[in-house]
Amino acid sequence: MPKEHREEYEGIAEEESMILAVLFANSVGNVLIERFNGVPAEERLTWRSFLVKLGAENLKGVKNEELLVACHKSVYIVYTMLGDVSIFLVGKDEYDELALAEAIFIITGAVKDICGKPPTERVFLDKYGRICLCLDEIVWNGLLENTDKDRIKRLIRLKPPSEF
């Protein structure tokens, strides 16, 4: 990325408070879903590796939906286990640990609704499309967009192609 674009891009991330990353990984650290907002492409691998390592070190033996919190380079990280899947949210400024805890609660509730229970990796991957749709309705461009469970369900309802 040209230097002037990189500075402009980094300036956006520095000025706006946002959810910088949402990441789902399996029990061995393979990323299942990731969404980055305001994070330069060259920093994403570093963040991905950092989050997976953080989970490997701290999520062993953690109960379902028990929240863990970390702070790194002036950003907040809230993460948890849900079935066989670990979930990480990274935020800054107004998206501190309390706001991220609210967001992760909404995300875990939505994933449980879609999967019918805390998911195994297989069930999670079987429901991948609906989970992605749901995630996009909850967090859009780094902002917590929808928090109402019923509204999210309505927004992700998949319509057959004949209705378009």
CA dihedral of residues 93, 37, 63, 50 (deg, nearest 10): -90
Query: What is the mean pLDDT of the segment spanning 20-31?
Result: 95
Q: How far apart are CA 152 and CA 42, in angstroms?
A: 32
Give the predicted TM-score (pTM) of the model.
0.84
Long-range contacts of 38-44 (CB under 8 A, 24+ apart): 38/9, 38/12, 38/13, 38/142, 39/13, 40/1, 40/6, 40/9, 40/10, 40/13, 41/1, 42/1
Query: What is the mean pLDDT of the segment spanning 105-128?
Result: 94
| pLDDT tens for each residue of 44-97 | 999 999 999 999 999 998 999 999 999 977 899 999 999 999 999 999 999 999
Looking at the chain, the whole-number percentage of residues with pLDDT higher than 70 is 86
Q: What is the set of domains in the chain, with CATH numbers?
A: 16-154 (3.30.450.60)
Distances, alpha carbon 151 to alpha carbons 5, 7, 80, 124, in Å: 37, 37, 24, 22
